[in-house]
Amino acid sequence: MMVLLMAATVTLSACSNKRPKRPYQKPDTLCVDSASYFRADTARGYSVLVRITAQYPTPVTGPLSASVASWVRSRLGEGTPPDTMDVHSVVDYYGREKFMSAFGGKGKPDLRFDGTVRLVAQRRSYVSFRFMLKQCAGGTPGLTTDVGVTFRRTDGMTFGWDLIRDTTTTAFHHLMREGVRSYFSTLLHEDEVSNISLAALLTSNDFNEEDEMALLKHFPLPKCQPYLSRHGMTFVYQPYEIAPYSAGAPQFTVPFEQIKPFLSRQGRKLIQKL
């Protein structure tokens, strides 16, 4: 039986006609609209599903919104939509492009692409966006991506690891270790995860005690850059990066008061007036 669900878009405005309560330094006040694309085809043994939900600057009025718009498009796919000012055009373009790409190779099409882009923080000095993707194709294991980025309001400049002054100190590695420990404590519903238990979760069975202690002293940093969320700095490890796939994507947020001593000069400036 053939099942074919055609593309659909839904939009939701995140700005109103009312004047903002707090005027910003620049006229490029970020407003976002949301649009969704969904299309699935299981005809003749096909297994293709594309779902995209994205928040996108509307209108694009200056350096901040232009920088955000460019980043969102870069996460959703390749090429440039005919109309980069309209959220419908952007989401439909990448949805169709991704859907049709499944039919370009040999064999029966097999693709699942489920991506979301959303605004996660909007403060006086910065805004942050997050991109989450679940993708698999051709029977390969699923790929999960979870990344974020921070934009400076005044000019749209992006920040990541450069928000941290020094990532090599023992104190910073301790901060990472305790953040991951808190993640597993919540995941496993345990009040406290011991050092030995944490090392066992993060290492393979052939690691010896010396290797485990070295791992705890020099804790691995996430490959993806951290970003400023509303209440602190968020760090995300991708699945398989430090733990088995069953552990998900270990992530945690360090409150501003705890992360502040580790911030670079620019990082401190961004959180100076919250």
Q: Which tens digits make up the pLDDT trace of 135-180?
A: 887 666 667 889 999 999 999 999 999 999 999 999 999 999 999 9
Is 80 exceeded by the pLDDT of residue 228? yes
Is 80 exceeded by the pLDDT of residue 4? no
Q: Contact, 20 vs 105, CB < 8 A? A: no
How far CA 173 is from CA of 22, 103, 113, 166, 220, in Å, comes to 38, 46, 35, 10, 8
Q: Contact, 67 vs 156, CB < 8 A? A: yes
This prediction's pTM: 0.84
pLDDT band at residue 19, thresholds of 50, 70 and 90? very low
Is 60 exceeded by the pLDDT of residue 9? no
- pLDDT: is 61 or 229 the higher one? 229
Q: What value does the mean pLDDT of the chain take?
A: 85
Quote the pLDDT of residue 14.
52
Instruction: Give the C-alpha separation, 37 to 215, whole Å.
Output: 43
For residue 235, give both structure tokens. 């760090």
Query: DSSP string of 152-218?
Result: ETTT--EESGGGBS-S-SHHHHHHHHHHHHHHHHHHTT-S---HHHHHHHHS-TT--HHHHHHHHHS
pLDDT band at residue 25, thresholds of 50, 70 and 90? very low
Quote the pLDDT of residue 64.
96
- pLDDT: is 8 or 190 the higher one? 190
Instruction: Give the C-alpha separation, 84 to 88, whole Å.
Output: 9
Is 80 exceeded by the pLDDT of residue 41? yes
- pLDDT: is 57 or 204 the higher one? 57
Cβ neighbour number for residue 234 with a 10 Å cutoff: 21
Mean pLDDT of 261-269: 96
Mean pLDDT of 59-84: 95
Mean pLDDT of 112-120: 96
pLDDT band at residue 192, thresholds of 50, 70 and 90? confident
Is 80 exceeded by the pLDDT of residue 217? no
- pLDDT: is 79 or 208 the higher one? 79
Quote the pLDDT of residue 102.
85
User: Percentage of residues in the chain with pLDDT exceeding 70?
Assistant: 82
Quote the pLDDT of residue 5.
41
Per-residue b/e over 29-60, b at no fewer than 16 CB within 10 Å?
A: bbbbbbbbbbbbbeeeebbbbbbbbbbbbbeb
Most confident of 6-10, 99-103, 158-162: 158-162
